[in-house]
Every structure is written in structure tokens, then in C-alpha cells.
Amino acid sequence: KAGVTQTPRYLIKTRGQQVTLSCSPISGHRSVSWYQQTPGQGLQFLFEYFSETQRNKGNFPGRFSGRQFSNSRSEMNVSTLELGDSALYLCASSLLYSPVRDTGELFFGEGSRLTVL
């Protein structure tokens, strides 16, 4: 079956602009999580959505937001881009919602690489 699909794969923006990234989870998966990956910082948790509701949020400023649609597809938005927002943004899907024990693994997409100039 198809994996997690993220679009666009690469994009370049300038400071002050905003960006929207898209994620299509594996068919049947209802939970989508977003991570920011940078050298030296590893993966930092942004947020998790399940059934169109944000269930958990990391320590990022309000410029970072997201949503999930009824078909489980998710988007994340970053407004007023800063140079430090340059990163690989990863989306991951799973069957279940985080607090459920034995929640199983996350399946990751290849990411959207954002460069802010």
C-alpha cells in the first residue's frame, strides 16, 4: 500500500512569507504527527492530530499551526517565516492516537525541505 506522502518535497521562501505543507497518511491511518528535523536538534515534535482534532502540541510558537481534514489528510502552516525555520518537516501517520498504550509505530514520509532566505 502507498506510504505517507508529503508535498512539496522542496521549497524556498523568504523571511516574512508563509508556507503550507501537506501530508497524506497511509490509507486507514487516522493519526498524523508533525516533526521538525534540523542538524543538531534532531526531531522536535510539533503537533499530533486525530479525527480532525489537535491532540497534542509541542513547544513551538503560535506561528506554527496545523489542521486535519475528514479524510485524515493534514496540513501544517508556518506564518511570518524566520531563517531558523529552515528545516526538514516530517509527517508521520499511525493507526491509533498517542495516549493509547501499544500504539504501534509511526510511519514517516520523506519530508518537505524548507529553506528560508
Cα–Cα distance for residue pair 95/116, rounded to 1 Å: 33
Report the nearest approach of other proteins to the CB of residue 18 (Å).
25
Cα–Cα distance for residue pair 44/89, rounded to 1 Å: 10
Report the nearest approach of other proteins to the CB of residue 99 (Å).
5
Residue bearing cell 524548507: 114
Quick one: CA torsion of 37, 59, 81, 36, rounded to 10 degrees?
10
1 counts as binding other proteins under rule CB under 8 A: no
Which of 56, 65, 79, 86 lies at the binding interface for other proteins (CB under 8 A)? 56
Residue pair 46/40 in contact by the 8 Å Cβ criterion: no
Q: What is the CA radius of gyration of the chain?
A: 14
**Interface map 16-55 toward other proteins (x if CB under 8 A):** -----------------x-x----xxxxxx--x-------
95 counts as binding other proteins under rule CB under 8 A: no
CA 39 from centroid of its chain's CA atoms: 17
Please identify, using beta-carbon distances, which residue of 92 and 116 lies nearer to other proteins: 92
Residues that bind other proteins (CB under 8 A): 3-4, 33, 35, 40-45, 48, 56, 58, 90, 92, 98-99, 101-103, 105-106, 108-111
